């Protein structure tokens, strides 16, 4: 009817051509195999919300792996299967991926064994999902192409801008949904439903988050911090007592607002100036969240959340080093001379970009800011002109001494003592060759 025509129009007008083509082909294969195949979840949600989403999720009523294998055979793409879960990933030549899952049908084969529900398999599959807005399905096969299935009131909740769970035990069943609820709420500008919020709070109170592994909590946190602007979600986490759950000393609301705003400025500045250079904005924001924790608290939080060693190093060792360096710059300015460029280089060079951007966001001292920005815009790219063969030509045998020579050359160059290649050659001769300057 009307709705189907509307959905078909969305599919035809809102999606890139290559995705349309893929959906058409999925529908063809489904038709030929006599299977019902659906696009589901976030992809359909975002289609109705008119937001781009390139994660195409497919559910097949029946054997999704066999379906995907046939698709891959017919069209030029690779397939990766997970037998245990009945899932497959189609990988197209341009690396575009489509996830295919199986909705189990075996319980429904016996006629009369259960009251017949139309499309019971897909309905049951969707019932296991986190929120109503993620339970929409669009049929893809043949004459059914574009039929919208809404078993759980998803369209109503999209209209009401509400995040709602499907049943009362949802958060108990999977406590990571606590974080997901906040992430979707803030990303979409929705509101967690009143009843759903009660369920969320009571799952929190009853300690269900402790029952999942720390690494799963960490994964969800990372997803929240990877959102373009994580601050609203962080404030909401505070409101729902999740920050307190993570650690009682985590950043308070008022300071968070200021610090996150500064972090955003630092990140924008960096991206504008160094387009294309990697900058994991979520790390900068996460460091901001940790700012009031002492080293020991950070270390124990990292342990609890099973944070990967490299990141743990950033949150502990490098963070401390950045704090020390910025304090030093501050005090040196107050009492003695400002630091030399080579000193700034030595302090900042071992630290991740994100740690330095965090330091920039945190500092309200002009001198500290100036050191950091001169490091980014100038010092970090300074190099000496001589190379190993130049040193060798001067008659110095290759060995560990080279490392020291290059370090000293770089330091002297950073401090403006060496400007030209000849300066560097003279410097090496003077310091490392005996009797070179004794003839005057």
**For binding to ligand ATP (CB under 6 A), which residues are involved?**
41-42, 55, 57, 129-130, 134, 174, 176-177, 180
Q: How far is the CB of 167 from ligand ATP (least distance, A)?
A: 12
- Residue nearest ligand ATP by beta-carbon distance: 42
Phi, psi torsion values for 138, nearest 5 degrees: -120, 125
Which residue, 184 or 358, is less far from ligand ATP as judged by CB?
184
Burial of 136 (0-12, 13-18, 19+ CB in 10 A): buried
Q: How far is the CB of 192 from ligand ATP (least distance, A)?
A: 15
How far apart are alpha carbons 88 and 29 in whole angstroms?
A: 15
Which residue, 223 or 297, is less far from ligand ATP as judged by CB?
223
Q: How far is the CB of 126 from ligand ATP (least distance, A)?
A: 8
Q: How far is the CB of 209 from ligand ATP (least distance, A)?
A: 13
Angle between the N-to-C axes of helices 177-188 and 214-226, in degrees from 0 to 180, rounded to the nearest 10: 0
Which residue, 134 or 291, is less far from ligand ATP as judged by CB?
134
Q: How far is the CB of 169 from ligand ATP (least distance, A)?
A: 12
How far apart are alpha carbons 418 and 6 in whole angstroms?
A: 71
Distance from the Cα of residue 428 to its chain's centroid: 47
Q: How far is the CB of 159 from ligand ATP (least distance, A)?
A: 18
Distance from the Cα of residue 161 to its chain's centroid: 25
Centre a 10 Å sphere on the Cβ of residue 126 and count the other Cβ atoms it contains: 25
**Inter-CA distances, 435 with 428, 430, 431, 439, Å:** 13, 9, 10, 8
Which residue, 87 or 342, is less far from ligand ATP as judged by CB?
87
DSSP annotation string for 298-310: HHHHHHHTT--HH
Which residue, 87 or 363, is less far from ligand ATP as judged by CB?
87
- CB distance 139 to 36 below 8 Å: yes
Q: Mapping DSSP to helix (H, G, I), strand (E, B) and coil, where does residue 183 land?
A: helix
Which residue, 119 or 413, is less far from ligand ATP as judged by CB?
119
Which residue, 46 or 292, is less far from ligand ATP as judged by CB?
46
Q: How far is the CB of 318 from ligand ATP (least distance, A)?
A: 29
- CB distance 262 to 362 below 8 Å: yes
Q: How far is the CB of 130 from ligand ATP (least distance, A)?
A: 4
Q: How far is the CB of 316 from ligand ATP (least distance, A)?
A: 29
The residue to which tokens 């996830």 are assigned: 99
How far apart are alpha carbons 290 and 195 in whole angstroms?
A: 32
Which residue, 184 or 286, is less far from ligand ATP as judged by CB?
184
Q: Mapping DSSP to helix (H, G, I), strand (E, B) and coil, where does residue 84 land?
A: helix
How far apart are alpha carbons 281 and 286 in whole angstroms?
A: 9
DSSP annotation string for 393-431: HTTPPSSTHHHHHHHHHHHHHHTTS--SHHHHHHHHHHH
Which residue, 129 or 164, is less far from ligand ATP as judged by CB?
129
Using alpha carbons only, give the angle 431, 434, 438 rounded to the nearest 5 degrees.
Answer: 100
Which residue, 42 or 153, is less far from ligand ATP as judged by CB?
42
Q: How far is the CB of 187 from ligand ATP (least distance, A)?
A: 8
Q: Mapping DSSP to helix (H, G, I), strand (E, B) and coil, where does residue 165 land?
A: strand
């Amino acid at each position: 009817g009307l709705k189907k025509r509307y959905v078909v129009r969305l599919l035809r007008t809102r999606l890139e051509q290559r995705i349309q083509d893929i959906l058409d082909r999925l529908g063809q294969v489904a038709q030929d195999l006599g299977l019902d195949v659906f696009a589901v979840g976030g992809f359909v949600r975002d289609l109705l919300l008119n937001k781009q989403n390139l994660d195409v999720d497919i559910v097949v009523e029946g054997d999704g792996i066999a379906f995907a294998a046939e698709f891959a055979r017919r069209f030029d793409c690779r397939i990766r299967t997970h037998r245990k879960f009945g899932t497959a990933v189609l990988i197209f030549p341009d690396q575009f991926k489509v996830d295919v899952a199986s909705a189990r049908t075996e319980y429904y084969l016996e006629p009369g064994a259960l009251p017949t529900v139309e499309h019971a398999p897909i309905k049951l599959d969707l019932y296991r999902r986190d929120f109503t807005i993620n339970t929409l399905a669009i049929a893809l096969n043949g004459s059914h192409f574009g039929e919208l299935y809404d078993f759980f009131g998803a369209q109503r909740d999209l209209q009401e801008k509400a995040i709602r769970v499907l049943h009362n035990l949802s958060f108990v069943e999977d406590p990571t949904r606590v974080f997901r609820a906040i992430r979707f709420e803030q990303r979409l500008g929705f509101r967690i439903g009143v009843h759903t919020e009660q369920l969320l709070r009571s799952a929190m109170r009853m300690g269900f988050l402790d029952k999942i592994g720390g690494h799963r909590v960490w994964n969800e946190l990372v997803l929240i911090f990877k959102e373009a602007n994580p601050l609203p979600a962080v404030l909401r986490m505070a409101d729902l007592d999740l920050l307190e759950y993570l650690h009682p000393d985590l950043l308070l609301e008022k300071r968070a607002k200021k610090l996150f705003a500064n972090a955003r400025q630092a990140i924008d500045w960096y991206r504008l100036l160094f387009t294309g250079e990697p900058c994991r904005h979520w790390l900068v924001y996460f460091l901001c969240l940790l700012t009031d924790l002492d080293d020991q608290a950070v270390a124990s939080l990292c342990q609890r959340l099973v944070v990967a060693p490299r990141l743990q190093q950033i949150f502990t060792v490098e963070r401390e080093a950045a704090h020390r360096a910025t304090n030093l710059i501050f005090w040196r300015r107050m009492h003695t001379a400002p630091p030399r460029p080579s000193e700034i280089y030595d302090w900042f060079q071992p630290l991740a970009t994100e740690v330095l951007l965090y330091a920039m966001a945190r500092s309200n001292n002009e001198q500290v800011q100036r050191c950091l920005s001169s490091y980014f815009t100038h010092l970090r790219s300074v190099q000496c002109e001589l190379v190993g063969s130049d040193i060798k030509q001067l008659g110095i045998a290759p060995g560990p001494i080279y490392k020291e020579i290059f370090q000293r050359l770089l330091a002297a160059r950073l401090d403006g003592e060496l400007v030209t290649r000849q300066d560097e050659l003279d410097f090496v001769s003077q310091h490392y060759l005996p009797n070179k300057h004794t003839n005057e």
